[in-house]
Amino acid sequence: MTADDLKKLAAARALELVRPGMRLGLGTGSTAKHFVDLLGLRVAAGFEVLCVSTSEATQAQAVALGIPMSTLDETPELDLTIDGADEVDPQLRLIKGGGAALLREKIVAAASARMIVIADDGKLVQTLGRFPLPIEVVPFGLEATRRAVAAAIAAAGSAGRLSLRQRADGTTLVTDGGHYILDAHLGTIERPELLAQSLNVVPGVVEHGLFIGLASGAILAGADGLRLLGK
């Protein structure tokens, strides 16, 4: 089985959690895309749900599939969000934002009674940090913010290089919210809570990709089957 097959398997299992009438948060990325495709088939067969997306890309996909869409302004409380992750640890702490959608993903997850992560089991790690931590920043004052972010990382006991995320064509990536992303190449994050707190108070940082206390469960697909974490 390919990694993509595993992602689809996790997405299919997550679909079993969806009940008629639910208000759903739809994640972003290749795994979440499988979930939205499968949900679209259900909706086409008459299943009723109301969804909020975490990115313009997911919004476009869902609309094309005929999935009824809402916003957090109209529907501020969601029953369930299904989203991917770049890393998951055994305490269900996550790194997200590989697809640059972390800001909306965190807002939608926080508005949901449950957030379930879907991923291939290669995303499960004992210690977060091998995947570069995305930090969304406002363009104004970028260099000053970069230095303050580096100091916040050092204060939390981590160290590593910061890179400004680029598009494939070499231009600076701009998020759906009009911001930039600094990727922190830390290797390991020994104290994720402390790092999260430290980054939360840096002026110019809009959000970071450490999701702590947000995921209620994870569906991880591996060659030997599905592994469920949490509830």
Binding residues for substrate: 28-31, 83-86, 96-99, 123
Query: Which member of 18, 26, 67, 86 binds ligand 5RP (CB under 6 A)?
Result: 86
Choose the binding region for ligand 5RP from 17-25, 29-37, 149-157, 182-190 (rule: CB under 6 A): 29-37
Give residue 17's region: left, alpha or beta (phi > 0; psi -120 to 50): alpha
Catalytic pick from 105, 143, 190, 207? Answer: 105
- Which pair of structure tokens corresponds to residue 88? 């998951």
Q: Is residue 85 part of the contact set for ligand 5RP (CB under 6 A)? A: yes
Amino acid identity of residue 24, one-letter, is L
Binding residues: 28-31, 83-86, 96-99, 123
Query: Which member of 25, 29, 160, 204 binds ligand 5RP (CB under 6 A)?
Result: 29
The rounded distance, in Å, linking the Cα atoms of 35 and 10 is 8
Choose the binding region for ligand 5RP from 44-52, 63-71, 92-100, 199-207 (rule: CB under 6 A): 92-100
Choose the binding region for ligand 5RP from 28-36, 44-52, 65-73, 181-189 (rule: CB under 6 A): 28-36
198-202 long-range Cβ contacts below 8 angstroms, 24+ apart: 198/152, 198/153, 198/155, 198/156, 199/135, 199/149, 199/152, 199/153, 199/156, 201/152, 202/145, 202/148, 202/149, 202/152
Please confirm, yes or no, whether 190 is among the known catalytic residues: no
The rounded distance, in Å, linking the Cα atoms of 88 and 123 is 6
Q: Is residue 98 part of the contact set for ligand 5RP (CB under 6 A)? A: yes
Dihedral sign (CA 222, 37, 84, 115): negative
Active site positions, annotated: 105
Using CB under 6 A, list all residues that contact ligand 5RP.
27-32, 83-86, 96-102, 105
